[in-house]
C-alpha cells in the first residue's frame, strides 16, 4: 500500500537578475507502509529541500506529492498542519529538545495537540514510550543531564509518541559517536518495524544509509535508486558523493 508518492517533483528558487536556481529535478519516489528507505547525498545536494517536501513543510515548484493517494495540494493549510502533526514524526540531528523541560515533559509536548484519549492519557503514553526506549529511570532528567545517545532516544520517543505513520530521520546519528549511532539506528529501525511505520533516513553517512532496505542517492537535485553495494562504496575516500 502506497503511503507517500512523489511524481516529477521539482523545486527551484527565484534569484534576482539570474535564472531560477534548480534544487530538485524531476524527483520520483514511492514509499509504502512499513518501508525503510535511505537517501544519501552530500551537502548541497538538496536533502534539506527534499525533507521539507516529504514532511509537508513546503510545496514543490512543479510535480505532485500524494499522501494515502490524496494530493497534498488538495489540503488547506490547517488540514495539512493536522495531518503532519498526527501522521509524521521528525527526528533531527541536533535533537532539538526543549531546555528547562524534563525528558518526560519533552515527550509529552506533541500530545498537547492530540485529541481524545491521547490527550487525556498523555503522561501515561509518554512514560510508556520512554520506558520502551530504555529511559524509564530518566523521566525527570533535564536534557543537559543526559548523554548524547540518551538525548537522541528522547527525541525518538517524542517523534513516535503520537504513533506516526511516517518517520523522517534527518542525519539522526550525525551528533553521535559510531557505537552510539549504530545502537540508536538499530533501535529506531526496530521500533518503526514494530509499529508498522515507514521510515525515511536522510543522511550523508553511507554506513547509516546502508541499514535501510531500499537505497537512493541524491546528487545535484536528481534522485536515483542504487543498490547497497553502491551505497557502501560511497563511504570510500576514493569515491565522491
- Residue 213: inside a domain: yes
Q: Is the pTM of this model over 0.85?
A: yes
Does the structure show a pLDDT above 50 at 220?
yes
- 106 or 228, greater pLDDT: 106
- Residue 185: inside a domain: yes
Taking residue 114's Cβ as centre, other Cβ atoms within 10 Å add up to: 18
- Residue 74: inside a domain: yes
Does the structure show a pLDDT above 90 at 225?
yes
Q: Could you read off the pLDDT of 115-141 as tens digits, one per residue?
A: 899 999 999 999 999 998 889 999 999
- Residue 240: inside a domain: no
- Give the range of the structural domain holding residue 156, as residue numbers without chain letter: 2-233
Tell me which residue of 27, 39, 93 sits closest to 216, measured CA to CA.
Answer: 39
Share of the chain above pLDDT 90, in %: 57
- Residue 241: inside a domain: no
- Residue 239: inside a domain: no
Return the CATH number at 139.
Answer: 3.40.50.300
- Residue 173: inside a domain: yes
pLDDT for 10: 97
Split into its structural domains, the chain has a count of: 1
Q: Could you read off the pLDDT of 7-18 as tens digits, one per residue?
A: 999 999 988 888
Q: Could you read off the pLDDT of 48-97 as tens digits, one per residue?
A: 899 999 999 999 999 999 999 999 999 998 999 989 988 999 988 788 89
- Residue 89: inside a domain: yes
Amino acid at each position: 500500500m502506497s503511503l507517500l508518492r512523489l511524481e516529477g517533483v521539482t523545486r527551484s528558487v527565484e534569484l534576482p537578475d539570474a535564472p531560477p536556481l534548480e534544487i530538485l529535478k524531476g524527483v520520483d519516489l514511492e514509499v509504502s507502509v512499513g518501508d525503510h528507505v535511505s537517501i544519501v547525498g552530500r551537502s548541497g545536494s538538496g536533502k534539506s529541500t527534499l525533507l521539507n517536501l516529504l514532511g509537508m513543510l513546503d510545496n514543490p515548484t512543479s510535480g505532485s506529492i500524494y499522501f494515502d493517494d490524496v494530493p497534498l495540494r488538495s489540503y488547506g493549510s490547517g488540514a495539512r498542519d493536522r495531518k503532519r502533526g498526527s501522521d509524521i514524526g521528525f527526528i533531527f540531528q541536533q535533537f532539538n529538545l526543549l531546555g528547562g523541560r524534563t525528558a518526560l515533559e519533552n515527550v509529552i509536548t506533541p500530545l498537547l495537540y492530540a485529541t481524545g484519549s491521547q490527550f487525556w492519557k498523555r503522561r501515561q503514553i509518554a512514560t510508556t514510550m520512554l520506558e520502551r526506549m530504555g529511559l524509564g529511570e530518566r523521566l525527570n532528567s533535564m536534557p543537559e543531564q543526559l548523554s548524547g545517545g540518551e538525548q537522541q532516544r528522547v527525541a525518538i520517543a517524542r517523534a513516535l509518541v503520537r504513533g506516526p505513520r511516517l518517520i523522517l530521520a534527518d542525519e539522526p546519528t550525525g551528533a553521535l559517536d559510531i557505537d552510539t549511532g549504530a545502537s540508536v539506528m538499530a533501535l529506531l529501525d526496530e521500533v518503526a518495524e514494530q509499529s508498522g511505520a515507514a521510515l525515511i533516513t536522510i543522511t550523508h553517512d553511507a554506513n547509516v544509509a546502508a541499514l535501510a532496505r531500499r537505497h537512493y542517492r541524491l546528487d545535484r537535485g536528481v534522485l536515483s535508486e542504487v543498490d547497497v553495494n553502491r551505497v557502501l562504496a560511497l563511504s570510500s575516500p576514493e569515491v565522491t558523493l
